[in-house]
Amino acid sequence: MFNKQSVLFLSKSELGQASVVLAVAHEVAAQFDCNVHFASFAPLKSHIRALHQLSSVKIYWQTISRKSMKDSLAMALIPCQDTHRV
């Protein structure tokens, strides 16, 4: 696996942002003799699996184990629950 050169793609997990990066990663894996690694947040992993089912191209998945921008924003917009009432 590591005798070839490797390229790492990083992306947000939202498909609007990730679809172009996924397409480029797929083409690099298909056209060049290199190892392609794709790193993102867990929600995007299912799309990498789907890509594997449609193609013989191998892309190595790396999970970024932090909250995605979408999850962080959702947490920031949840109203605070005031437990101290007067």
Q: Give kind and range of the element (H or E) at residue 75.
A: helix 69-77
pTM above 0.85, yes or no: no
Would you say residue 8 has pLDDT above 90? yes
Of 12, 85, 24, nearest to 59 (Cα)? 24
Q: Write out 23-70 in H/E/C secondary structure.
A: HHHHHHHHHCCCEEEEEECHHHHHHHHHHHHHCCCCEEEEECCCCCHH
Average pLDDT, the chain: 81
User: Where is pLDDT greater, at 31 or 80?
Assistant: 31
pLDDT in tens, 34-65: 899 999 988 888 888 887 777 778 889 999 88
Q: Domain residues of the chain, as ranges?
A: 6-77
